[in-house]
Amino acid sequence: MPTIHHLIEIPTEPKINIYNITPQINDLIATTSIKNGQALVFSRHTTTALAINEYEVRLLEDIKVFLQKLAPESDRYLHNDLHLRDVPEDEPMNAHSHLLAMMLSTSEVIPIVDGKLALGTWQSVLFFELDGPRKRTVSVQISGE
């Protein structure tokens, strides 16, 4: 069973943002000979996450508000005591982003059927930037026959 690895690069905007990476994944699958199998999608950062859900503007805003309530940036976090840690000069105070990433997921495994992701009608693969702006990468491993 062949396995093919790709990276998707995502330049992100400030704060919490959500990106639909479904088209990029389907484009990668189309470059392979794999028609049936699976795609393992993995976020390579500690302040980003992945989920499968609906990509609808008002829902995305609801998700951002919900996440901000779960771990408000303005709360007190020990990780943000930068003067007590050995960190680069440009290190952000981002404990809230780490906590949010832990509440979501770093990976998704999605079936491939007939050369495309076998997602439901309203499902999309969503990439969550929780500490932007940054240049991010998502690993996509496609396997099957």
Tell me how far apart the alpha carbons of residues 94 and 80 are, in angstroms, rounded to a whole number: 7
Whole-structure pTM value: 0.95
Tell me how far apart the alpha carbons of residues 93 and 77 are, in angstroms, rounded to a whole number: 9
What pLDDT, in 10s, does the model give residues 15-74?
999 999 999 999 999 999 999 999 999 999 999 999 999 999 999 999 999 999 999 999
Rg (Cα) of the chain, in Å, rounded? 17
Query: What amino acid is encoded at 129 in this protein?
Result: E
What pLDDT, in 10s, does the model give residues 79-123?
999 999 999 998 999 999 999 999 999 999 999 999 999 999 999
When the candidates are 1.10.260.40, 2.60.120.460, 3.40.50.2300, 1.10.10.10, the CATH number that belongs to 3-144 is 2.60.120.460
For the chain, the average pLDDT equals 97
What pLDDT, in 10s, does the model give residues 125-134?
999 999 999 9
pLDDT at 1: 79
